[in-house]
Amino acid sequence: MATDSWAQAVDEQEAAAESVNVNLRNIRTNSSGAAAKSEVDGNNKTSDDDDKEDKAAQSLLNKLIRSNLVNTTNQVEVLQRIQTLRFNSVKSFEELRLKPQLLQGVYGMGFNRPSKIQETALPMMLAEPPQNLIAQSQSGTGKTAAFVLAMLSHVDPNNKYPQCLCVSPTYELALQTGKVIEQMGKHYPEVKLVYAIRGNKSGMKLQEQIVIGTPGTMLDWCTKFKFIDPKKIKVFVLDEADVMIATQGHQDQSIRIQRMLPKNCQMLLFSATFEESVWNFAQRIVPDPNIIKLKREEETLDTIKQYYVLCNCKEEKFQALCNIYGAITIAQAMIFCHTRKTAGWLAGELSREGHQVALLSGEMQVEQRAAVIERFRDGKEKVLVTTNVCARGIDVEQVSVVINFDLPVDKDGNPDNETYLHRIGRTGRFGKRGLAINMVDSKMSMNILNRIQEHFNKKIEKLNTDDLDEIEKIAS
Ligand SMILES: Nc1ncnc2c1ncn2[C@@H]1O[C@H](COP(=O)(O)OP(=O)(O)OP(=O)(O)O)[C@@H](O)[C@H]1O
């Protein structure tokens, strides 16, 4: 019973998690395969011929990288709900028996084969009767595409009312997921989408089958404005699910929406990270969940090389950054700061050095933020300086370097491992190579870095930014 079990779980959140009756088996899955080329170097070809050559080479490389990604083997735990229900993973989109319009949409996006998370999750999500799923897979491995395909497959286009709700933590992410829905549903025009985001006052009974939005507005549309009849919802997706159900995240609103949904509504929870307590909570609130969970050592992608640089102050960190830019050509970079103030200062310094810089932080209007992301996505600015507001989900293929100008810490000053993983996951998208560089400026931040290394059991190498050869080497 979806509603009751959620409510009960919230009330008893501190209680021990019940053991789930599951069948545990290990399968081969996603995706840390070595990719074929450094993406750190940008391409500055000048002649048309060079351009053509470059595009052909890039396209071939993309194919190689992607096939590497889908073939690589790691281990995850797949826990299926009932032992008699077996969901075999698929090796092609055809095997999923998608509607032809959707298959056309998938191929139109250039997806030749499902990624590992898609291979495993899609058969569960598309099964009849609908299955609930809590799924973890590394950043940039195709989770969004997976749940979008599930939503598009489940809607009945003849019914002109909302049937799927997808909730994202931020406005930018909701817009980005909406774009994926639009692209994948390009040949399925009967299915319509509406954004439940601040400022968008639909004002009448909705005709659209899919509603995507942020939690507060989605809740208002279900309760205050009654644009959505929650009883008619068939699929409920929580993107970045860990933050959507965390007490310090959007738990309250997510729960209030979920409580209104019918018992047979399919619940799909996706994220690259689930801290242990949140994971336990997820299992309590989702009735009879199927589970795809990464082992800790598989959470980081080997395609993202991680380094740290020792400095003494923010000015030295800035100098190190300039040295890095002096040594390698960076296609696009995202730089994360702890505070808006540091982000503003850094953006100013970088602009003075002649960089095309965009600044994005939490106090900006949501429309402004979306516009900044859009310009960055289009390559109008090459550097995006930001805070944690942009740590999750943003998918810009050209980001070849992520810099943690400040390491991510929680409000108590402890390492924020989940945010670290999301931040560095802005590079190395879908099997590409990426570079993550951490700036360490005190004993305290060295301690944070060590704890992050321990947490993921992954060595972060030291980089001397005074040595240009050394910087060049890591990018090659
Ligand atoms: N089967 C596929 N074949 C080729 N490209 C794909 C496939 N699935 C997804 N992609 C592409 O890979 C990129 C990353 O996918 P997506 O944004 O869905 O990852 P994600 O797992 O949701 O990432 P995050 O954890 O950061 O939110 C996107 O640009 C998407 O278009």
Q: Ligand 1 pocket test: which of 144, 180, 396, 402 has the largest number of ligand atoms within 8 Å of its C-beta?
A: 144
Question: In the sheet that 332-336 helps form, which strands lie side by side, from edge to edge?
Answer: 357-360, 383-386, 332-336, 399-404, 434-440, 304-310, 461-462
Q: Please name every residue paired with 248 in a beta bridge, in sequence order, or none if there are none.
A: none
Q: How far is CA 9 from CA 260, 287, 357, in A?
A: 15, 10, 45
- Residue with CA nearest ligand 1 atom 25: 139
E strands, 177-314, in order? 193-196, 210-213, 235-239, 266-271, 290-294, 304-310
pLDDT at residue 37, rounded to an integer: 26
Q: Which two tokens stand for residue 5?
A: 């079990």
Percent of the chain with pLDDT over 90: 70
Q: Which two tokens stand for residue 334?
A: 């995202």
The residues near 217 (Cβ < 8 Å, ≥ 6 apart) are 196, 197, 198, 200
What's the maximum distance between 2 C-alpha atoms anywhere in the chain?
Answer: 66
75 pLDDT more than 70: no
What residue ranges do the domains of the chain occupy? 69-294, 304-475
The answer to whether 139 and 421 have CB atoms below 8 angstroms apart is yes
DSSP letters of 48-61? HHHHHHHHHHHHHH
Ligand 1 center–CA 430 separation, angstroms: 6
Ligand 1 center–CA 146 separation, angstroms: 9
Instruction: Please name the fold of domain 304-475.
Output: Rossmann fold (3.40.50)
pLDDT at residue 73, rounded to an integer: 32
The answer to whether 209 and 164 have CB atoms below 8 angstroms apart is yes
pLDDT at residue 88, rounded to an integer: 73
Cα separation, 335 vs 437, whole angstroms? 9
Scanning the structure block, which residue is given the tokens 């953006």?
347
Q: Which two tokens stand for residue 294?
A: 């990464």
Cα separation, 344 vs 342, whole angstroms? 5
Q: Which two tokens stand for residue 110?
A: 């250039």
58 pLDDT more than 90: no
Ligand 1 center–CA 253 separation, angstroms: 27
Q: How far is CA 312 from CA 233, 404, 445, 459, in A?
A: 54, 15, 11, 22
Instruction: Give the side-chain half-sphere CA count within 13 A for 235.
Output: 29
- Residue with CA nearest ligand 1 atom 1: 114
Q: How far is CA 36 from CA 68, 148, 155, 433, 476, in A?
A: 9, 29, 39, 8, 11
The overall average pLDDT reported for the chain is 84
Cα separation, 31 vs 138, whole angstroms? 8
Ligand 1 center–CA 140 separation, angstroms: 5
pLDDT at residue 472, rounded to an integer: 86
Kindly give the number of the ligand 1 atom that is closest to the alpha carbon of 426.
26
Ligand 1 center–CA 143 separation, angstroms: 6
CA 278 to chain centre: 17
The answer to whether 83 and 23 have CB atoms below 8 angstroms apart is yes
Around ligand 1, the residues with Cβ closer than 6 Å are 66, 111, 114-115, 118, 137, 139-145, 272, 393, 395, 397, 425, 429-430
The answer to whether 337 and 402 have CB atoms below 8 angstroms apart is no
Scanning the structure block, which residue is given the tokens 């021990």?
16
pLDDT at residue 475, rounded to an integer: 80
pLDDT at residue 473, rounded to an integer: 84
CATH superfamily of 69-294: P-loop containing nucleotide triphosphate hydrolases (3.40.50.300)
E strands, 197-339, in order? 210-213, 235-239, 266-271, 290-294, 304-310, 332-336
Q: Which two tokens stand for residue 333?
A: 């970079």
Q: At what angle do helices 443-456 and 417-424 cross, to 10 degrees?
A: 80
End-to-end CA distance of the chain: 54
User: Which pLDDT band holds residue 5 (cuts at 50, 70, 90)?
Assistant: low
Q: Please name every residue paired with 401 in a beta bridge, in sequence order, or none if there are none.
A: 333, 435
Q: Which two tokens stand for residue 237?
A: 């997706």
How does pLDDT run across 323-374, given as a tens digit for each residue? 999 888 899 999 999 999 999 999 999 999 999 999 999 889 888 999 999 9
How does pLDDT run across 277-303, given as a tens digit for each residue? 999 999 989 999 999 999 888 898 999
Cα separation, 165 vs 254, whole angstroms? 11
Structure-model confidence comparison of residues 198 and 347, the more confident one: 347
Q: Output the CA angle 336-337-342, nearest 5 degrees.
A: 140
pTM of this structure: 0.83
How does pLDDT run across 93-146, given as a tens digit for each residue? 999 999 999 999 999 999 999 999 999 999 999 999 889 999 999 999 999 999
How does pLDDT run across 162-196, given as a tens digit for each residue? 999 999 999 999 999 999 999 999 999 999 999 99
Taking 3-state DSSP, the helix, strand and coil percentages for the chain, each rounded to the nearest 5, stand at: 40, 15, 40
Query: Would the CATH topology of 69-294 be identical to that of 304-475?
Result: yes
| Secondary element (H or E) of residue 402 | strand 399-404
Tell which residue, 128, 111, 44, has the closest CA to residue 328.
Answer: 44
pLDDT at residue 60, rounded to an integer: 46
User: Which pLDDT band holds residue 199 (cuts at 50, 70, 90)?
Assistant: confident
User: Which pLDDT band holds residue 86 (cuts at 50, 70, 90)?
Assistant: low
User: Which pLDDT band holds residue 26 (cuts at 50, 70, 90)?
Assistant: very low
Give, as one character, the DSSP assignment of residue 232: G
Q: Ligand 1 pocket test: which of 95, 212, 430 has the largest number of ligand atoms within 8 Å of its C-beta?
A: 430
pLDDT at residue 471, rounded to an integer: 86
Q: Ligand 1 pocket test: which of 91, 395, 399 has the largest number of ligand atoms within 8 Å of its C-beta?
A: 395
Q: Which two tokens stand for residue 475?
A: 């990018």
